[in-house]
Structure 1
């Protein structure tokens, strides 16, 4: 298996005003489930099968990290649709290990947790201005309580981080959930492998609770017993447990689907229609996302694992708590730019700590394109322009795949198009996004600027 990026992409693209045609694109597999199932398989003694894992730069970083923990990975088929993982039962490497996590924040946090079981591991990134500036302090403080010697960079625990886990033990630990749920998920993956088990108290609230429930679901499928309360603030994981080899089937990815749904919702062509399959019904993120598009007036329907959205409908302003769908917010904001009236998305302070500042950077670039947004500390206010925007400018993706998707949607509804810089960073989660837009009828071309 190669550690190289999956595709070579242009650094600049031009998104011209376009009508979208009826389409049935294939939704990428879920990043959330791929990360968790692959890690669970890497920790199980024996062989597991992962059917339709996500394929992206984040996946490359994940596979590299699992091999560094001692797991063996290989493709069962030439089409790379089934991944075989021979797990270790427990992370093991006899000497010091360095893991490059690329620009994958969730991969980094979960590997920081599991890497604490190794004698010495250093987590690094080749994206110092993006992932290299994301905080890990709360997780390092919790691991230090458990006897791990942690050396992060700066007061916020930036990468690179070196850990020495020879003295690690279980017991009881406190972790803040105010900035990211990934710190809690990292401790939950680690806890069954600690000799005394672990009790976890979450303080300062908990962001992105649906993703914690995804972690719990995956751990239970892997044979791990977890006790927790309804608030997701208190956990107990007994000692002496082992991950079990399994066959896992990865569903479609709702944040990727959200980008296509938002593009069609914003379309003013009543003949446009989008059909997306393999989107698991009952998924907490998916159901909240579906309800959000309904609230903004989109013509959206669900039939089992298939969602159909028809464009050309007059969207209306809305107000939502954005925390349950935090990774979908940039594209939802882009659609709201073309709704009638004002929209407000609140409880999204955690967006400041992503690959970019997804509040200030997103608002700055969309305003440059002709939209009207007000960034706030914990919210985004959008003044809709259903007539469309002027465009005709160059906007910066800030090395962030989610911003690039949002800016592309704005370009489709502009009069003069938008030039997007940093377009190669779309490969972090959805390498074929621009190609998929072209198949849907969009005029998207590489640009030499």
Structure 2
């Protein structure tokens, strides 16, 4: 747990590489023909498990000072039939798709066992067809199906019903473009022209816009922060959060690959959260300090993440004085007189990170079970401290 004190932030903060790109890069390199070099990989417990899983089906992976060298398994050679992906929902879906026709058991921790996968399995059962129908309410289903198609030799069309979280599918499609695999994308259909194999590649994982959004949000509430090395040409959908913060009145200046955010008077607005679904908890926190009403909607899939993020965030913020209404697909949040107290992360890294942002503004906030932050931002506390953040009673948190 950690005890967060009221703080004024000043300085430049380093943000980790993208988790989403890291997972995609490692898996794709592990099924590619030849040796790939992946630099700036986000290392975490889940990544260590993913590396082990890829080695289990035949990839050879060596850690270097800059990242990973991976010799892909051109054909699967399962050395063990049980694959443990830990807490990674993305790895769970992608490996399920790749190993669908193998004799394999893919498992994870308790929270992962509660996350739906039937829509993906129904789609994978149609791989023999030219057109495959899939429920697109969770982008990971679509991304996983795309991965399954890459090893085939005939074109496949994916017919998507209820297409949501489009930027995450676009991230997967950006990998097809990078690997020179032709595809066509319309709103409801994606047609892929696979080559039957993937050539090895070199890749540097970019800075994570999702992780960058937390120090930016903290600066809007408490001080001034600069973040560097943000590639706005990258496919990450969470870069749209910066525009969202600006629409709320956030004082944010963009200069090339640098962003400077300063304490601001925020205004409540209506926000469609589908393009950046993982930001729902921190947007709820910001809504507590925005004048008027903030409506967060189109985020129903947030109920099926590491926890039910809609129910859990509403419960925890209400304990601290938030005037927040839980809706089926999000929240209505009113400017609130927040107070000190205890928050539970529910072992969800997005909640832990968001509640730290809250604590920096309110002060005297105790957050339980913060170890889960290692999944995306292992050094968040240490890097905030260098910018003036005050924490006490830090226990069981060691950055990787």
Residue 281 of structure 2 contacts residue 350 of structure 2 at CA under 8 Å; is this kept in 1? yes
Q: Show the 5 A alignment for 1:189-204.
A: 189-203=147-161
Residue 223 of structure 1 contacts residue 243 of structure 1 at CA under 8 Å; is this kept in 2? no
Aligned to 1:111: 95
Aligned to 2:135: 176
Once residues 207 and 329 of structure 2 are traced to their aligned partners in structure 1, the CA distance between those partners, rounded to angstroms, is: 29
Q: CA 1:73/1:95 → structure 2, altered by over 3 Å: closer, same or farther?
A: closer
Residue 224 of structure 2 contacts residue 262 of structure 2 at CA under 8 Å; is this kept in 1? yes
Aligned to 1:36: 24
Once residues 350 and 120 of structure 2 are traced to their aligned partners in structure 1, the CA distance between those partners, rounded to angstroms, is: 25
The answer to whether the aligner puts 1:185 opposite 2:143 as a matched pair is yes
Once residues 171 and 374 of structure 2 are traced to their aligned partners in structure 1, the CA distance between those partners, rounded to angstroms, is: 24
Compute the displacement of 1:301 (Å): 0.9
Once residues 237 and 447 of structure 1 are traced to their aligned partners in structure 2, the CA distance between those partners, rounded to angstroms, is: 49
Q: Show the 5 A alignment for 1:368-407.
A: 368-385=319-336, 389-391=338-340, 393-407=341-355
The answer to whether the aligner puts 1:410 opposite 2:363 as a matched pair is no
Q: CA 1:447/1:306 → structure 2, altered by over 3 Å: closer, same or farther?
A: closer
Aligned to 2:376: 429
Residue 134 of structure 1 contacts residue 353 of structure 1 at CA under 8 Å; is this kept in 2? yes
Aligned to 1:216: 173
Once residues 438 and 362 of structure 1 are traced to their aligned partners in structure 2, the CA distance between those partners, rounded to angstroms, is: 25
Q: CA 1:73/1:240 → structure 2, altered by over 3 Å: closer, same or farther?
A: same
Residue 302 of structure 2 contacts residue 309 of structure 2 at CA under 8 Å; is this kept in 1? yes
Match of 1:123 among 106, 127, 140: 106
Q: Deviations over 1:107-152 (max 9, x none)?
A: 111111111243x110011x21x11100001011112233xxxxxx
Match of 1:352 among 303, 311, 314: 303
> Bigger CA drift: 38-47 or 130-139?
38-47
TM-score by length of 1: 0.84
Q: Deviations over 1:18-42 (max 9, x none)?
A: 222x221111001121111222211
Residue 49 of structure 1 contacts residue 82 of structure 1 at CA under 8 Å; is this kept in 2? yes
Match of 1:144 among 109, 112, 125: 125
Aligned to 1:295: 247
Once residues 67 and 79 of structure 2 are traced to their aligned partners in structure 1, the CA distance between those partners, rounded to angstroms, is: 31
Aligned to 1:73: 61
Compute the displacement of 1:186 (Å): 0.6
Once residues 244 and 93 of structure 2 are traced to their aligned partners in structure 1, the CA distance between those partners, rounded to angstroms, is: 29
User: Secondary structure at the residue paired with 2:172?
Assistant: helix
Aligned to 1:364: 315
Q: Show the 5 A alignment for 1:41-52.
A: 41-52=29-40
Aligned to 2:190: 235
The answer to whether the aligner puts 1:319 opposite 2:270 as a matched pair is yes
Q: Show the 5 A alignment for 1:434-449.
A: 434-446=381-393
Q: Show the 5 A alignment for 1:15-30.
A: 15-20=4-9, 22-30=10-18
The answer to whether the aligner puts 1:334 opposite 2:318 as a matched pair is no
Aligned to 1:100: 84
Once residues 408 and 84 of structure 1 are traced to their aligned partners in structure 2, the CA distance between those partners, rounded to angstroms, is: 35
Compute the displacement of 1:195 (Å): 4.5
Q: Deviations over 1:364-410 (max 9, x none)?
A: 1111122221110012111113xx5221x221101100001111111
User: Secondary structure at the residue paired with 1:381?
Assistant: strand
Aligned to 1:247: 202
> Bigger CA drift: 59-68 or 102-111?
59-68
Once residues 394 and 243 of structure 2 are traced to their aligned partners in structure 1, the CA distance between those partners, rounded to angstroms, is: 37
Residue 57 of structure 2 contacts residue 78 of structure 2 at CA under 8 Å; is this kept in 1? no
Residue 296 of structure 1 contacts residue 315 of structure 1 at CA under 8 Å; is this kept in 2? yes
> Bigger CA drift: 56-65 or 362-371?
56-65
User: Secondary structure at the residue paired with 1:206?
Assistant: coil
Aligned to 2:398: none
The alignment covers a number of residue pairs equal to 395
TM-score by length of 2: 0.94
Residue 57 of structure 2 contacts residue 79 of structure 2 at CA under 8 Å; is this kept in 1? no
Mind listing any 5+ residue stretches in structure 1 that lack a counterpart? 1-11, 147-168
Q: Deviations over 1:41-74 (max 9, x none)?
A: 1111111111111122332232222222311111
Q: CA 1:446/1:69 → structure 2, altered by over 3 Å: closer, same or farther?
A: farther
- Output the aligned Cα RMSD: 1.8
Residue 437 of structure 1 contacts residue 444 of structure 1 at CA under 8 Å; is this kept in 2? no
Compute the displacement of 1:446 (Å): 2.9
